[in-house]
Amino acid sequence: MLKNELFSNKGSGQQSLRYGVPEEWAWRRLSELMSSYSGGTPSRENHEFYTGSIPWIRSSELNNKYIETTAESISEDAVAHSSAKYVSPGTLLYEFQEFFVLQR
């Protein structure tokens, strides 16, 4: 988004910021600040995938501020045969199921 698109009074000579963003803040794309990727659930049809010792974080567990334990665990084989990812402690996790594009 361009900085000029953030001002609501473009033609008035007065500039007021939308979204309450202070002028001294710098605008950055998320990709400049972080890496983002998606993972995937190992097949539920293969019950052996869910017999390991690797903590498996389900999207329903993302409602908590901190995740200390998980309800399920997966195996090394599950990681090798799916798009599941390892993440380090302290990693910010988020989920989205729907993506909307605003068109003018």
Nearest in space to 40 (alpha carbons), one of 101, 92, 95: 95
Cβ contact 84:74 at 8 Å = yes
pLDDT tens string 7-26: 544 554 444 556 677 878 88
**How far from each other are the two terminal CA atoms of the chain, in whole angstroms?**
13
Q: Does 14 reside within a domain?
A: no
pTM of the prediction? 0.64
The DSSP letter of residue 54 is: E
Q: Is residue 52 part of a domain?
A: yes
Residue 38 lies in a domain: no
Give the model confidence (pLDDT) of 39-54 as tens digits. 889 999 999 999 999 9
Residue 59: which domain range?
43-86
- pLDDT tens column, 79-104: 999 999 998 888 888 887 666 666 65
| Number of domains into which the chain is organized | 1
Domain contains 97: no
**Chain mean pLDDT for the chain:** 80
**13-21 long-range Cβ contacts below 8 angstroms, 24+ apart:** none
